[in-house]
Structure 1
Amino acid sequence: MLVTARFRRMIQETAGGLPRQFWWLWVSTLVNRLGAFVVPFLSLYLTSNRGYSVTYAGVVAALFGLGAAVSSIVAGVLTDRIGRRPTLLAAQLGTALFTAVLGFSDGQVTIAVVAFLVGFFNNATRPAVSAIIADIVPSADRVRAYSLNFWAINLGFGLSSAVAGLIATHGYLTLFLLDAVSTALCAVVIFVRIPETKPDTPATKTDEPAVGLGGVFRDRRFMAVVGLTLLLALVMQQGSTTLPVDMGLQGVTPTEYGLVIGLNGLLIVLLQIPLTRWVENRSRSAMLAAASLFIGWGFGMTALAGSSAWFYAFTVAVWTIGEILYTPTLMSLIAELSPTHARGRYQGVYSLSWSLASFVGPAVGGVLLERAGGGALWGACGVCGTVAAAGYLALGKRTGAAPGVRPGGAVVAVPAPTTAAATAVAPEPAPKPEQAATGA
């Protein structure tokens, strides 16, 4: 009975107090990731099922990433201009349509073009989803909200990856169609259950200045955070690109790699919620610095693994803990750095850092591994993590402990919603004092 009571209290402290609309968005995210069959198997589909070369599969993957990079900016602007809801609906319907079309596409040019469009619409959901969470969840609860959303992504993706191989035995077209159907179902959930959360009052009529896309890039503190994010994203990219190659060169089998890398998703599912409860009331800059070191040197220790699958598993566990600490904490910081009327643009530029890393990371990692060896590659990852940690600590010292305060005293943390649309989705109770997040 005591264990049951503690478990119930943990669930209440983790999930309680969040608005109903957040949970519908969470369900939409989970369903979407449960049906995310195509992306992990796209290269395998092109090479083993369609008979295209590995080089062509790499080109298609790059075009998919290019589409994601372009949509980061476009969707961010649209999220602020036309609203979160229409942008998210258009992105999901476009993803569903072109995913299905990709399953029927033939010819190298056609497949490449459609893959670009799938990447474009698939990534266009991110700025809108992040902006909606920032709109409807109070500042003190955002770490929890982003953590729960991240948990849903990994839970759904892990389960879908596990069953996608079985589904593929009945034909790859089934994967494409099921992915399209699940994404369309998410659009239905959004259409029925999520109202528009974009503030009605123009920025020019509030205390906030109007912010265009150029203003986002001129925001030096925010762009410093984006730069540090890019640095760590380049490191994280090695987990699915150079890590399996290096493990293969060391004599580790593909089966062992699958088990080792599968530990990443398993640990996220098991540890995300308890670690988030531990992180909530701690210094954000300290958490980001610690997470950067875990990520950087988790990959860095790979240089010592040799042919031991167990040691590789240990390194994966280390950088996974860093990932668990990093993602929700950073997303909460990005939300507070974003002026209310420019949240979409800010989230889009932030998302661009991950899209650029998907371009640059595999290429840079491959060159380092081939020309300088694994020691140089993994050592560079450790250096990147150390630089990022120092950067986050420096940003925290420059701006003090108050969350969302820029140099010069301009407060960008968002007060309680005052517009009709925002009020409709804001939670009624005030956040508990013990849930207040400390600043970066």
Structure 2
Amino acid sequence: MKNLFRSYFESFGGLRKEIWLLSVITLINRAGTMVIPFLSLYLTKSRGFSLEEVGWILTFFGLGSVTGSWLGGKMTDKIGHYRTMAISLIGSSFLFVLLQFPDSFWTICLGIYLVMTVADIFRPAVFVAISAYSKPQNRTRSVTLIRLAINLGFSAGPALGGIIIATGGYSGLFWVDGLTCLAAGILLLKLLHPKRSIPEPEEIIVDAKTAISDRLYLVFIFAMMIFGFIFIQYFSTMPLYYAESHQLTELEIGLLLGLNGLAIFLFEMPLIKFMENRKHTATGYVILGTLLSGLSFLAINLTDWVGILMVGMLLVTLGEMIAFPFSNSFALNRSDGKKRGSYMALYSIAFSVSHIFGHNSGMQLIDNFGFEITWYTMFGLALFACTLLLILNSLLKKESSGVHSN
């Protein structure tokens, strides 16, 4: 047991102090975004909007995320990751506080759009910061540590948010969100100076290639959109399946979803350290992660045994633990010597687009064809994404051999 614990903690070794500081800032920021999990409840119970109106408001949520990711990439290439993150954290702190005041449909749509635009400027910048503060050989584990901070933040945030709503109502939620974002921004300014970064040319690149002109990278991004599309079903349509087809209670559904976060917390970093030491390409690992996620949908269609739901959750969690860090690492490595902000912006946008279309499309498929056909469709999409990535792998080998021959 002692060796097991030692091995676990050793998997965190070798990461620079700045990466740990960045993860703490990310943890505070993500734990602070408590409004997000309670947005639907706030809009229906406190503001009295219909489900259809809430659906459209959440569409503006997704559109703001896309805009913010794009703008964050532009700003990162123009003014650097440090100032971009500071602007996002401090700007969103004020906007979260102000979001409690609009009361009409269109003013709330505008408010949500602005909040998400400013908040998600942070996403491409933090990915670029990972590259700036970490050694190249530790990039994947650095990404994993940031993911761990995000998952812990998303776990703690809703629990704390529920307590705040129970004691002080929804208004308290907006104030705490704003103050935590401000605290994260102050920590960034005080502790994470850009002079501590490993010198890289990304912030002074003028004529370098942008992501939109990199055709192979666009193939990768399209595959990630498909992966994001199927992955988010586990947090929108799958809970409906748990309740309607297997009659699970809210508590049982919560525990099953909680298994995802617990497994990531316990196993992702040791798993990534183990896989990093194997001689496989990042895209090869992304293919494995995508396939495992797709197999989770196939598995739950094969039997009515309730235990298969846990098998499915473990499969998609394992797929997530492999696909996300290595896809992020591929994007960072692909952007070396280029306009890194544009690359990481496109990577973030891939998942923002998945949120815009994935939830609604999944609901429509279930409504028209039922759960079984929907899950087979998700498995088919996973196979399609794997095929794209296999083609990409082949093209990358040709590109690499062409470079070496020159």
Does TM, normalized by the shorter one, top 0.5? yes
Partner of 1:397: 394
In structure 1, what residue type is equivalent to 2:277?
Answer: N
1:249 lines up with 2:244 in the alignment = yes
Query: For structure 1, which segment, 156-165 or 181-190, has the greater mean C-alpha deviation from structure 2 after superposition?
Result: 156-165
SS at match of 2:321: helix
Higher helix share: 2
1:229 lines up with 2:224 in the alignment = yes
Counterparts of 1:340 and 1:9, CA distance in 2: 35
Counterparts of 2:232 and 2:314, CA distance in 1: 16
Counterparts of 1:18 and 1:312, CA distance in 2: 36
SS at match of 2:307: helix
Deviations 1:391-433 (A, max 9, x none): 32332233239xxx7574289xxxxxxxxxxxxxxxxxxxxxx
Counterparts of 2:16 and 2:172, CA distance in 1: 36
Counterparts of 1:410 and 1:185, CA distance in 2: 48
Deviations 1:189-218 (A, max 9, x none): 1111222357387436xxxx523xxx4222
Change (3 A) 1:72 1:400: same
What does 1:190-339 align with in structure 2 at a 5 Å threshold? Answer: 190-196=188-194, 197=197, 199=201, 202-203=204-205, 209-211=207-209, 215-250=210-245, 251-282=247-278, 283=280, 284-304=282-302, 306=304, 309-339=306-336
In structure 2, what residue type is equivalent to 1:409?
Answer: V
Deviations 1:264-319 (A, max 9, x none): 1111111112211221123133321111111112133333464x553222211110
SS at match of 1:18: coil
Counterparts of 1:267 and 1:410, CA distance in 2: 41
Partner of 1:437: none
Counterparts of 2:57 and 2:377, CA distance in 1: 28
Change (3 A) 1:223 1:118: same
Check whether the contact 1:334–1:347 (CA below 8 A) recurs between aligned residues.
yes
Check whether the contact 1:202–1:341 (CA below 8 A) recurs between aligned residues.
no
Change (3 A) 1:323 1:107: same
Change (3 A) 1:377 1:151: same
Q: Size of the alignment, in residue pairs?
A: 397
Deviation at 1:6, TM superposition (A): 5.3
What does 1:155-170 align with in structure 2 at a 5 Å threshold? Answer: 155-170=152-167
Check whether the contact 1:36–1:179 (CA below 8 A) recurs between aligned residues.
yes
* Alignment counterpart, residue 403 of structure 2, candidates 403, 409, 432: 409
Gaps of 5+ in 1: 412-440
Partner of 2:375: 378
Counterparts of 2:326 and 2:227, CA distance in 1: 14
Deviation at 1:131, TM superposition (A): 0.4
Deviations 1:61-106 (A, max 9, x none): 1101100011111110110011111111111112111111112332
Deviation at 1:379, TM superposition (A): 0.5
Counterparts of 2:252 and 2:99, CA distance in 1: 31
Change (3 A) 1:100 1:289: same
Change (3 A) 1:335 1:407: farther
Counterparts of 2:322 and 2:351, CA distance in 1: 17
What does 1:41-190 align with in structure 2 at a 5 Å threshold? Answer: 41-170=38-167, 171-190=169-188
SS at match of 1:277: helix
In structure 2, what residue type is equivalent to 1:232?
Answer: F
Change (3 A) 1:303 1:200: closer
Runs (4 or more) in structure 1 with deviation over 4 Å come to none
Instruction: State the identity as a percent.
Output: 29
Change (3 A) 1:315 1:98: same
Counterparts of 1:264 and 1:66, CA distance in 2: 27
Check whether the contact 1:232–1:292 (CA below 8 A) recurs between aligned residues.
yes
In structure 1, what residue type is equivalent to 2:361?
Answer: V
Check whether the contact 1:29–1:186 (CA below 8 A) recurs between aligned residues.
yes
Change (3 A) 1:157 1:309: farther
Check whether the contact 1:68–1:123 (CA below 8 A) recurs between aligned residues.
yes
Counterparts of 2:224 and 2:112, CA distance in 1: 26
Deviation at 1:245, TM superposition (A): 2.4
Counterparts of 1:372 and 1:45, CA distance in 2: 31
Partner of 1:424: none
Gaps of 5+ in 2: none
Check whether the contact 1:228–1:391 (CA below 8 A) recurs between aligned residues.
yes
In structure 2, what residue type is equivalent to 1:87?
Answer: T
Deviation at 1:123, TM superposition (A): 1.3
